[in-house]
Structure 1
Amino acid sequence: MVSKNTVCLWYNGDALDAANFYAKTFPDSSVDAVHRAPGDYPSGKEGDVLTVQFTVAGIPCLGLNGGPGVEHGFAFSFQIATDDQEETDRLWDAIVSNGGQEGQCCWCTDRWGVSWQIAPRALTAAISDPDTAAAKRAFNAMMNMTKIDIAAIEAARRGDGGAVS
């Protein structure tokens, strides 16, 4: 059954590659269906993969092989809440080492141009701490990071390690 609300992502002929990568990388992810074009279309031929239904961390998605000229941007991203440094490292490294790029403050981009935030739960808790000084120290520490270092965030939150407030 197709979900009532599905995220549609545009790809240039490699939606199935992206879906397979997401399915092997993120928990609660899968490739659910592959649909081939019933006829020729501007960027493909009859029988080419036209759409791929897949799930990323429980979110239903549709990959559309719409062709060149439509780029992903930072205005949309998947935010994955991680439980520890091991999970943070594994997901970040999987994206970046597969042709992706590092960004600032927990952001990275996969090789297809889709933006991801690999955001440890500890970071979210730290920057929303009711102790505004602790939240500010953690936030300032985060602003100097690419991949999040949970130990450094927690040290900054506590006021340890020379974090600037």
Structure 2
Amino acid sequence: MQKITQCLWFDSNAEEAVNFYTSVFKDAKIGEVARYGDAGPGPKGSVMTATFELFGQKFIALNGGPLFKFSEAISMVVNCENQEEVDYYWEKLSEGGQEQQCGWLKDKFGLSWQVVPTELPSLFTGDGAKSQKAMQAMMKMKKLDINILKQAYQEG
């Protein structure tokens, strides 16, 4: 059993979010779904909580009402092996959301994601001038482009 599970608080669209996330990620699955009954506090039959898995990581989606919103203080990081993966996850997760700087985006539910190539950390270690060139290139990007970042590093 997973010791720590992230609980994502939604207003009233947890079921829609779970269906969306499990459609984007391969090998994703929906687990148990608990629905509100006569006692509420949500409408009878609507989702109270739903569990789901992305790449074996379990999450709980909760319809808790409008009291709390997502912020960039917590984000999901998608580590991508190549540009094709970066492009895929960026396109899917940013649809209906908001693209942000340096590989960050907010999806249509307001949840923040970082879509990053796995080789990104290696571009920011070692030679200071090369790392600075790569950082300068990244600061100009929304969706990260691995080839441009590597080229900037090599030119540094």
- Deviation, structure 1 residue 57: 3.1
SS in structure 1 opposite 2:102?
coil
Q: TM-score, structure 1 length as denominator?
A: 0.88
- Matches of 1:68 and 1:123 in 2, distance apart? 36
Secondary structure at 1:87's aligned position in 2?
helix
Give, in angstroms, the shift of residue 122 of structure 1.
2.4
How many pairs does the alignment contain?
A: 156
Counterparts of 1:21-100 in structure 2 under 5 Å? 21-42=20-41, 44-97=42-95, 99-100=96-97
Equivalents in 2 of 1:104, 1:77: separation in Å? 14
Q: CA deviation at 1:34?
A: 1.1
Tell me the residue number matched to 2:124.
Answer: 127
- What stretches of structure 2 of length at least 5 have no aligned partner? none
Gaps of 5+ in 1: 160-164
Q: Work out the CA distance in 1 between the residues paired with 2:153 and 2:29.
A: 37
Q: Tell whether 2:142 aligns with 1:137.
A: no
Distance 1:139 1:28, change over 3 A: farther
The percentage of counterpart residues that share the same residue type is 37
After superposition, what is the alpha-carbon deviation per residue over 1:95-133, rounded to whole angstroms, capped at 9, x for unaligned?
112x111000000000111000001112222123x1222
Deviation (angstroms), 1:40: 3.2
TM-score, L = length of structure 2: 0.92
Alignment RMSD: 1.5
Q: Which residue of 2 aligns with 1:154?
A: 150
Q: How far 1:75 sits from its partner (Å)?
A: 0.3
Shift of 1:158: 0.3
Structure 1 residue ranges (4+ consecutive) displaced by more than 3 angstroms after TM superposition: none
Structure 1 match to 2:19? 20
- Distance in 1, matches of 2:114 and 2:83, equals 14
CA 1:125–1:29: 2 relative to 1, 3 Å:
farther
Separation (CA, whole Å) in 2 of partners of 1:135 and 1:62 = 38
Counterpart in the other structure of 1:110: 107
Q: What is the CA–CA distance in structure 1 between the aligned matches of 2:93 and 2:63, rounded to whole Å?
A: 21
How far residue 69 of structure 1 moved from its aligned partner, in angstroms, is 2.8
